[in-house]
Amino acid sequence: MEQATRRIVRFLATDLDGNLAVGSALRRIKGVSHMFSNAVCIATNMDAKKKIGTLNEGELKILESAIKNPQLPSWMLNRKKDIESGKDIHLVGSDLDLRKREDINFMKRIRCYKGVRHEFGLPVRGQRTRSSFRTQKTVGVSKKGAKQAAAPKAAAPAAPKTAAQPKAAAKPTTAAPAAKPAPAKK
């Protein structure tokens, strides 16, 4: 008797395709890499090629506990020597996003170099900025063509002159009377 395959499996706050193998389905969870997925499958004696939709609730609980509390070497975890607890932990899903945001805010608060770079929206890891990261955020000199393109159109453009149209006669301009020089003082 063949076991029914669930089409969608809800696992660690993530919807996984039930037709995927366990090894590749675990990699769809944020914070679970290829090596970590394989290590969890080996640690729990789970066949990595078995479809995740065929697993029962007990097997899913075993996988969940192995991911949340891994008994793996510390170099395989994504949070070594946590600032708050001092332990090596592994974070997944929304916990990983939240902790990353907290770390960035901490760096901004203590005004370290990386925090200042995060505040200004600049690259943090030493990349060059001469030609990349051009997001039009900086105020400075802009080219003439860019200014004209950005300026709003005030009126409709006049019809272009053709060779058949006669040129308008030049109007004489009236010059303003010259100012009299001030008399010299004696």
Nearest-CA neighbor of 74 among 90, 97, 96?
Answer: 90
117-155 confidence digits (pLDDT tens): 999 889 999 888 888 888 766 556 667 776 677 777 666
Question: What per-residue confidence (pLDDT) applies to 3?
Answer: 67
pLDDT in tens, the chain (186 residues): 456 788 999 999 899 999 999 999 999 999 999 999 999 999 999 999 999 999 999 999 999 999 999 999 999 999 999 888 889 999 999 999 999 999 999 999 999 999 999 998 899 998 888 888 887 665 566 677 766 777 776 665 666 666 666 566 556 666 666 667 777 776
Q: Domain 8-76, what architecture?
A: Orthogonal Bundle (1.10)
* pLDDT value of residue 23: 93
- The pTM of the whole model exceeds 0.85: no
Domain boundaries, the chain: 8-76, 93-128
The Cβ-side half-sphere exposure at 180, using a 13 Å CA radius, reads 3
CB 43 within 8 A of CB 66: yes
Distance of CA 14 to the CA centre of its chain: 21
Q: What is the DSSP string of 140-164?
A: S---HHHHHHHSPP-SPPPPPP-TT
